[in-house]
A = this chain, B = another copy of it.
Amino acid sequence: MAYSDRAFGNAGALPQTTGADAAWSTFARSQRVKTQRLAEHDAVFYEGDPADRVYELIEGAVMLFKLLPDGRRQVVEVVAPNALFGIVAGALYDCNAETLTPSVVRILDRRELEASNEYQGHVAECLREQIERLHDHAVLLGRKSAFERVASFLMRFVPKRGVPGCLGPQNGKDEQVIELTMTRQEIADYLGLTIETVSRVISDLKRRGLLSIERQDRIRLTDVCGICRLTGAH
């Protein structure tokens, strides 16, 4: 029973092209569909807003988060390019959406989308991906230690490693430079930790020679296998 965290940094693309995807591409590129350019930390929508639009992330990164009334925040998803977001069951958005980096989104009309069975196949495909990621995230939040959470987070930025079919280090060196696109506070709010714990774990991984910090949001993993062994997935 293999357990793997799914990547969001690089594996946001849909698994394969299907008939549903082809119909979708035609629709998404049609004249009726608008795109919007957003700056870093722009709000896309707020929890409780009327959910009359669905968004497709074209470029950049978007986080979805919920707030408790006393201000505690949980980042529930980090949306990767090609994914849809803002798809809800009820009339209102159930969470807030904010860009992490400058982003481009495609704005789709919810009624038009839901009225057409033709596009529901693509929508369902995106939702299925999303649910698997949310299941993995529940395991992370509910059962993993702080070290395992941070290691799992870092590994999501490393393409094709720590997933089924991982070939291990290639050509001797086991390094990978990753751009986090999230502040320490955002990472903490995604991993269900405090900012102090995130910083302490990253410092500890550095002391153990597993990574070096090139910039606040740019980390060089110097031992990818070593980080991977800390994810709790092995």
CB pair A142–B141 under 8 Å, yes or no, is yes
Bound-complex Cα distance A66 to B234 (A) = 14
Q: Taking A15-B90, A69-B3, A117-B121 as contacts, is the C-beta distance between A137 and B138 under 8 angstroms?
A: yes
Q: Are A66 and B131 in contact, CB atoms less than 8 angstroms apart?
A: no
B66 engages A192 (CB within 8 Å): no
CB contact under 8 A between A138 and B90, given known A114-B121, A120-B121, A127-B124 = no
Distance to closest chain B CB from A163 (angstroms): 11
Contact A131 B134 (CB under 8 A): yes
CB contact between A131 and one of B2, B117, B127, B232 (< 8 Å): that residue:
B127
Check A66–B3 contact: CB distance below 8 A.
yes
Smallest CB separation, A121 vs chain B (Å): 5
Instruction: List A residues 139-162 near B (Cβ within 8 Å).
Output: 139, 141-144
Q: Which residues of chain A from 154 to 213 have any CB-CB distance to chain B below 8 Å in the complex? A: 189, 191-192
Query: For the complex, is A57 an interface residue (Cβ under 8 Å from B)?
Result: no
Residue of B2, B88, B128, B192 near A141 (CB, 8 A) is B192
Measured between beta carbons, the chain B residues less than 8 angstroms from A20 are 117, 120
Are A3 and B135 interface neighbours, CB within 8 A?
no
A-B contact pairs, 16 of them (CB 8 A): A15-B90, A20-B117, A66-B139, A68-B139, A68-B143, A70-B232, A73-B143, A76-B135, A87-B131, A89-B132, A117-B118, A120-B120, A131-B134, A134-B134, A142-B191, A142-B192
Interface residue ranges, A against B (CB under 8 Å): 1-3, 15, 20, 46-48, 64, 66-70, 72-74, 76-77, 87-90, 94-95, 114, 117-118, 120-121, 123-125, 127-132, 134-139, 141-144, 189, 191-192, 232-234
